Amino acid sequence: MSCSADPLVLDFVEWVAREPRAYAEVIATWKTSCPRLTIWEDATERGYVARETLPGLGLVIAVTEGGEKLLRTNGR
């Protein structure tokens, strides 16, 4: 991933951090047909977000400790 996409990863992690996001919502909102914009995949691979199952909500995407650290480090 290029450095120019890093702000998008940060935006994505911040968006997920606001509230647990349903997996389907994440996919629908952040999908792209551009192979160079892999924001969702980059955030997952870097350990900033993870899939988890929450009672009553089902499969959601949530920010990890690493994602919270990323947000704090970048003043978000």
pLDDT band at 72 (very low <50, low <70, confident <90, very high): very high
Torsion of CA 38, 40, 42, 43, to 10 degrees: 160
- 5-40 pLDDT, tens digit per residue, is 489 899 999 999 998 899 889 888 887 777 777 888
Residue 39 has φ and ψ, to the nearest 5°, of -60, -50
In the chain, the domains with their CATH numbers are 3-73 (1.10.10.10)
- Strands (DSSP E) contained in the chain are 21-22, 49-54, 58-63
Q: Looking at residues 29-54, what average pLDDT do you find? A: 86
More confident residue, 2 or 73: 73
